Amino acid sequence: MDKFARNGIRVVDLLDRDGLRAKLEAALEEKNDLLAKVYGADRIDVDAMVEEYVEFDRRIDPFVTDTTALLHNALADGKTILAEGAQGSLLDVDHGTYPYVTSSHPTAGGCCTGLGVPPTSVDRVIGIVKAYSTRVGNGPFPTELTGDLGEQLRQTGGEFGATTGRPRRCGWLDLVALGYATRINGFTELAITKLDVLAGLDELKVCTQYRIGDKLTDRFPTDLDALSKAEPVYETLPGFGDVTGAETVEDLPQAAQDYLAFVSERLGVRIGTVSTGPKREETLVPA
């Protein structure tokens, strides 16, 4: 909130102690009233905070630099930059299921706005997606499984928040939502994770369209009300058995290979990586 209100404290502000104190005083004038009068908390002492952050600056000073220049120099030297996004595309503050979103840009474009590298420097975008769908918190989830099967996916896949332990909502793979993510990110390849979680199911369903009212669509609705009314239209594929121990994608059961091929063909994006478990050796790269 402070960032977009134009009164946030930045790392560069740590370099000027007097300037830092002035900015903290201005920020805390409002924040202390909020803390004391709304939350009944103690006011924050400006001098104590300045001392705390000056000490903090001493510790991080060797690592503070002009990161945009650092990255541009790396590109000029022919080096490769790997940027990792957090969360998911549907949580993007602009392109996600607003208002059930985060406050940043987890889409591929966030690489450019967050790091200051030009879009022309991005030549590979890997879309990381589970072999099924999950969502944390509220918001429309057309393919959600709320019964025993949903709980089975949650338990088998360990679908609980790493920090909060909050259970994730689980459902069948949604190619309407994934197709939307593919378009807005410009995926050049997919990394399919947790394929092993689906092993042992008799059949697998994949959502290929939504039915909204009396209309079918393969376009992801931008209107939250329409999305909340969307009914998934599924195609059913045969299930597959144990995938652990496979050393290559070609070692997987044929039904598992067919599942991956179905996803790839429908999205028009090749699959570059498949994981059948959390271990490094369980990450497979197709030949």
Q: Tens of pLDDT along 26-68?
A: 888 889 999 999 999 999 999 999 889 888 888 998 998 999 9
Contacts of 178 (CB under 8 A, 6+ apart): 127, 129, 263, 267
Q: How many domains does the chain have?
A: 2
> Based on the domain organization, do 153 and 260 belong to the same domain?
yes
Q: Looking at 46, 64, 82, which one is the last position of a domain?
A: 64
Q: Looking at the domain assignment, is residue 108 inside a domain? A: no
Q: Quick one: average pLDDT of 94-111? A: 92
The SS3 assignment for 171 reads strand
* CA neighbor of 218 nearest in space, from 202, 203, 204, 235: 235
Q: Looking at the domain assignment, is residue 98 inside a domain? A: no
Q: How far apart are CA 262 and CA 190, in angstroms?
A: 13
The SS3 assignment for 281 reads helix
Domain extent at residue 145: 124-284
Q: Looking at the domain assignment, is residue 253 inside a domain? A: yes
> Based on the domain organization, do 274 and 139 belong to the same domain?
yes
- Among the residue ranges 85-89, 125-129, 260-264, the one predicted with the least confidence is 85-89
> Based on the domain organization, do 155 and 270 belong to the same domain?
yes
Q: Looking at 64, 94, 109, which one is the last position of a domain?
A: 64
Q: Tens of pLDDT along 190-243?
A: 999 999 999 999 999 999 999 999 999 999 998 999 999 999 999 999 999 999
Residue 185: how many CB atoms within 10 A of its CB?
21
Q: Looking at the domain assignment, is residue 111 inside a domain? A: no
Q: Looking at the domain assignment, is residue 220 inside a domain? A: yes
> Based on the domain organization, do 52 and 133 belong to the same domain?
no
> Based on the domain organization, do 60 and 132 belong to the same domain?
no
> Based on the domain organization, do 199 and 276 belong to the same domain?
yes
Q: How far apart are CA 37 and CA 92, in angstroms?
A: 33
Per the document, the length of the chain is 287
> Based on the domain organization, do 165 and 251 belong to the same domain?
yes
CATH of the domain at 184: 3.90.170.10
Who wins on pLDDT, 106 or 5?
A: 106
With a cut of 90, say whether residue 75 has pLDDT above it. yes
C-alpha dihedral over 262, 266, 269, 273, to 10 degrees?
-30
Contacts of 179 (CB under 8 A, 6+ apart): 218, 220, 266, 267
Q: What is the pLDDT of residue 87?
A: 86
Q: What is the pTM of this model?
A: 0.88
> Based on the domain organization, do 181 and 267 belong to the same domain?
yes
> Based on the domain organization, do 49 and 157 belong to the same domain?
no
Structure tokens at 73: 């120099």
> Based on the domain organization, do 52 and 128 belong to the same domain?
no
Q: Looking at the domain assignment, is residue 88 inside a domain? A: no
Q: Looking at 44, 64, 84, which one is the last position of a domain?
A: 64
> Based on the domain organization, do 278 and 188 belong to the same domain?
yes
Q: What is the pLDDT of residue 6?
A: 86
Q: What is the pLDDT of residue 274?
A: 97
